[in-house]
Chains A and B, each alone.
Chain A
Amino acid sequence: MFGQFDFGVITRNLPYLIKVGMAFTIELTILVIVLGIVFGTLLAMMRLSSIKVLSAFATAYINLMRSVPLVLVIFWFYFLVPYIGAWIIRSPTPVRVGAFLSSVITYSMFEAAYYAEIMRAGIQSIPRGQVWAGYALGLNYWQTMARIVLPQAFRNMVPILLTQTIVMFQDTSLVYVLSITDFLGAASKIAERDGRYVEMYIFAAVVYFVICVVISFLVRRLQRRIAIIR
């Protein structure tokens, strides 16, 4: 069945696929995990805040992001970021933003909405008495959050945060719509150049599959270990 196919095209282009493509995908994923969780936690805190304006803003933002497809959000930010940049540095013309920075901003802002909902559930899983105990000891809001609530919320939510991160890792492939060379972008460029669609796309699928299966296996193991401790 695979007689007419040339799988050598993969080994010949492996350095390009890994050093250019996979490097972009992994850098993007790691940056978005960090920024997404930071923004997501702040959004969750805003959503649970007793200040009405903050919680209304966070709720609206999270609902908006969650009801629009990622592809549309990618296009939104791709065109919006240059204008926001111009507004921040007061430049009369839209600022040129590189593909990498644009995707980091897009995915962080999008993923933050999803992380926020997970963190909100995590924060809400902490008994309210712990917050009162913190205040009773004289800690302020930020101290109570940083030292008591968030460390426990993170630990409760680690498996779900990681599952969401695997989904996000897969979704970074959608930068393809901006013709950016991530791992899939690199595979698809070679596929188009050499007319080797079958070989390159099967290879891309296998690589994503192996990475995601290994990580979700590790997540399940971690989940079991956390379950024993608690």
Chain B
Amino acid sequence: MNYHWNWKIFWDLTPEGSGTYLHTLLVGLLWTLATALAAWVIALVLGVIVGVIRTTPRKWAGRFCNGYVELFRNIPLLVQMFLWFFVIPELLPKHLGDAIKQMPPPWASYVPAVLCLGFFTSARVAEQVRAGIQALPRGQRMAGTALGLTLPQTYRHVILPMTFRIILPPLTSEFLNIIKNSSVALTIGVVELTAAARAMQEFSFQVFEAFTGATILYILTNILVIYGMRWVERRVAIPGFIGPAVQAGGH
């Protein structure tokens, strides 16, 4: 083992002249969070819509939504990233495709990355929403109907307020997943935290310091998210209910 440790490297200036190496990593973390948060909005909106439709009595819409979930769950995230980045602009009408490809630097890769992560995670959110709704006692839906509520009203006032509380813990782990998965965006040129650590490693040759820095930042982010979500869970908890442990494989 003849590796030369140099922990002070974080305070050295980068050759690009954009500040210290620590600054590079922190900017990377910001891009990670910006990607993850924007994608999370898409994932939540689409995921809730698709998940709800899968539990309504509309057979054909339900089947379409099952197909949606299967599509995004059975193609590797990296392949999906390439589809959004390389393939979709070619399949769109020419002027639209060219407009996408000619976006100024960070956005030409940021926008496809956000769309990709958003749609990918929406399928997983939809799965959690469906499981959450199906975990409710059937009587709740029947009671809603018996009270004269229409189907949308039953969902709005009875089923969804319960479901969202039940699925908070699995949604927390999906949010942690989207933060981790945003690292895949480095393959299409988003300089998020992992890419920033890579850049630091290439300029400074301090491999392990760079990766340790990124690892610590990821762990801190995780801890913050977990504590934040626990606080939210306590705030909205209904006494007497335990969330379902939805087992889904994933990273």
Contact = CB atoms under 8 A, between A and B. Distances in A.
A69 B183 contact: yes
A173 B201 CA distance: 23
Contacts of B248: 163
A68 B87 CA distance: 29
A68 B2 CA distance: 26
Given A1-B91, A79-B211, A213 B74 contact: yes
A83 interface: yes
B76 A72 contact: no
Interface stretch (A6-14, A35-43, A196-204): A196-204
Contacts, number: 121
Interface stretch (B77-85, B103-111, B156-164, B229-237): B77-85
Given A197-B90, A209-B75, A71 B1 contact: no
Main secondary structure on A side of the interface with B: helix
B130 interface: no
Given A76-B211, A174-B184, A213-B74, A167 B219 contact: no
A171 B76 contact: yes
A189 to B, nearest CB: 13
Contacts of B77: 170-171
A176 interface: yes
Chain B interface size band reads: 35 or more
A45 to B, nearest CB: 20
Contacts of A173: 76, 78-79
B74 A208 contact: yes
B145 interface: no
A72 B75 contact: no
Interface string A66-89: 011111100110011001001100
Contacts of A18: none
A160 interface: yes
Contacts of B186: 71, 177
A164 interface: yes
A146 interface: no
Contacts of B249: 114, 160, 163-167
Interface of B: 1-3, 70-71, 73-80, 82-83, 86-87, 90-91, 176, 180-184, 186-187, 194, 197-198, 201, 207-208, 211, 214-215, 218-219, 222, 247-251
16 contacts: A1-B91, A69-B180, A69-B181, A69-B182, A72-B214, A75-B194, A75-B211, A83-B1, A93-B2, A160-B247, A174-B76, A176-B187, A198-B87, A205-B83, A209-B74, A209-B75
